[in-house]
Structure 1
Amino acid sequence: MSTPRFLDLPPGVTPQKLETPQGAFAALEALPVSGVVERWPALLVPGLTGSKEDFIAVLMTLAQSGRRVVAVDLRGQYETPGPDDPAAYTCAALGADVDLLAQAIGGGDPVHLVGHSFGGLVAREAVIDGRTRFASFTLMSSGPAGVEGRRARNGRQIMEEIPTLGLEHLWHHRMEPDALAADVSDEILAFLRKRLLTNSPTGLACMAEQVLSMYDRTDELRQIEIPTLVLYGEHDDGWSPETQSETAARLGAECVVVPGAVHSPAVEAPETTAAALVRFWNAAEKHYLDTRSNAM
């Protein structure tokens, strides 16, 4: 299990509440420690059992590229409240939330969008629905359809156990043993427990169903004219590296494999991951400006 370095926020990173027509979303906002914000902002969307804290290790580096960078908790995740209505947690509904968040963050400018794992499936909905103009899109450790392998089994357990046995059971019988096997510190163990138990049970169960059943929208995504990056760890155990490489080829997208990383490159190899994102974002902005210049 990957664990975020969260106990001390890096310089320039602060907790925020983002107000949208759908309500307030908990966020971590990163601004440059030195220099000014001169490039387009970025929005980072976490995975199924994750949260904004999963991006802490990359936030300062990303912001130092001259950007406002915002990582959020989705509706029903950790510090963002959510309703008991299962319809609020479909990929389409959560994607509509991402639209609102991007519009709030961008303030009229295009926004770079990054979705990790299940967050990639959610963010993809926002790109395809066309309500928001994005500067670029990154699928981080995310696949074309439902999750595969061991993580698919975990998803089924979450979906089946939460409605009958609850989050405490899931923690003690699934999540805590994994964390102890990974030899995490007591402080991080306490955070992981608090994070899981603060989730909306309805939301987590419904998101698990979505990550298992989501259908392939790669061909639809390819029709959207947006710079796209597929980034994943060389040992990914969510969607296989082969599946993600094939997705990149189908999209005609750039593909970055992070050496040594598994399913959470932003945690397991933060400097490599941040460098790849900054390079991709800068290239996407240059391409946009060059295209506009040639069109005049």
Structure 2
Amino acid sequence: MSQATVQTLPFTLRGGAGTLAAWESTPPHGVEMRGTVLLVPGFTGSKEDFEAMVPILSAAGFRCVAYDQRGQWQSDGPDEVSGYTMVDFADDLNLVVDQISDDIPIHLVGHSFGGYVARAALVAQPNRFRSLTLLASGPSSISDVNFTPPQLVAQLIESGGQQALWEQMNRSLAPLVPPAKLEFLHNRIFATKKANMIGIMRVMEGPTDYTPALRATALPILIAYGNSGDLWPPSVHERYAEELNARTAVYDGVGHLPNEERPARVCADLVAFWTAVDAR
């Protein structure tokens, strides 16, 4: 099925702190609807992180919804850091589910910090979900992770705002990213609320271990990750998959953004996973 027949349309959702900017795409005419997928972006991210995946998944028969979390990019959010707790993010996600699905469970995909939010939302209301995919989203942000400690990142943003974070990011991105994409990333950072970024870092300083609760749901889980330069080493993802009795999908030569570096492969793995889930 040609992806050219798939339309991705902007729309708005209701969040706990205002309007959430979102995208929606549905299967083209003649393609059977196989379910609804909700895609959740991570720290400094947005719905655009799934731009290459959405048309592929919809062409395969899945209605896709992706949204900017509170305070990200084009979504409303409070100016106070206190408005960005894990409960706030997870409540927003479950409120989104209420708006895009009646009683039919959906497939949930969370990238990086979006995976943390997805875990919390799923544990709170497991009956609303058909499966969970953690995309480049490891078990902890404070141990076994190749990332500056969240507390230090929060301090950087508190003192220097978006400009300080952008200077850090730009040094690594500029040689690798086309100018148009770099301009978008720049604009997104400065449109994302400072309180959002500090709040996320504070949440990540000590995230709750959802492993026992996730296992108790007995929902199918896929852990998908790159094996070259992700924030978590492959061994950490592998161990986490064993703890969750989860399937794995591994992308050779890929870092923290398999959704952008290998979108077709990620989508093929997702469709295969969801097909297996539906066949259970």
CA contact (8 A) 1:42 1:112 kept: yes
1:284 to 273, 277, 280: 277
Counterpart residue number, 1:231: 224
| Alignment RMSD | 2.0
Unmatched 5+ residue regions in structure 2?
A: none
Distance in 1 separating the partners of 2:260 and 2:91: 27
1:142-167 Cα offsets, whole Å, 9 max, x none, are 11122557753174443112222111
More moved, 84-93 vs 132-141: 84-93
Calculate the TM-score normalised by the size of structure 1: 0.87
1:213 CA drift (Å): 2.2
Q: How does 1:132-151 map to 2 (within 5 A)?
A: 132-147=127-142, 151=146
Counterpart residue number, 2:175: 181
SS across alignment from 2:154: helix
1:115-172 Cα offsets, whole Å, 9 max, x none, are 111110111001111265101001111111225577531744431122221112321x
Distance in 2 separating the partners of 1:254 and 1:32: 26
Taking every aligned residue pair, what percent have the same amino acid on both sides? 35
1:236 CA drift (Å): 4.2
CA contact (8 A) 1:47 1:116 kept: yes
CA contact (8 A) 1:230 1:254 kept: yes
Q: How does 1:1-296 map to 2 (within 5 A)?
A: 11-20=6-15, 23-36=18-31, 38-130=33-125, 132-147=127-142, 151-153=146-148, 155-171=150-166, 173-182=167-176, 184-287=177-280
Distance in 2 separating the partners of 1:38 and 1:273: 20
Distance in 2 separating the partners of 1:230 and 1:150: 16
Counterpart code for 2:103: G
CA contact (8 A) 2:16 2:92 kept: no
Unmatched 5+ residue regions in structure 1?
A: 1-8, 288-296
1:242-269 Cα offsets, whole Å, 9 max, x none, are 1111111011111111222111111011
Distance in 2 separating the partners of 1:37 and 1:97: 29
Distance in 1 separating the partners of 2:141 and 2:173: 24
More moved, 119-128 vs 145-154: 145-154
- The 3 A distance-change label for structure 1 pair 18 and 262 is same
SS across alignment from 2:51: helix
Distance in 2 separating the partners of 1:13 and 1:273: 19
Counterpart code for 1:33: P
More moved, 77-86 vs 211-220: 211-220
- The 3 A distance-change label for structure 1 pair 267 and 154 is farther
CA contact (8 A) 2:126 2:217 kept: no
- The 3 A distance-change label for structure 1 pair 233 and 88 is same
1:80 CA drift (Å): 0.6
Give the aligned length: 277
CA contact (8 A) 2:71 2:192 kept: yes
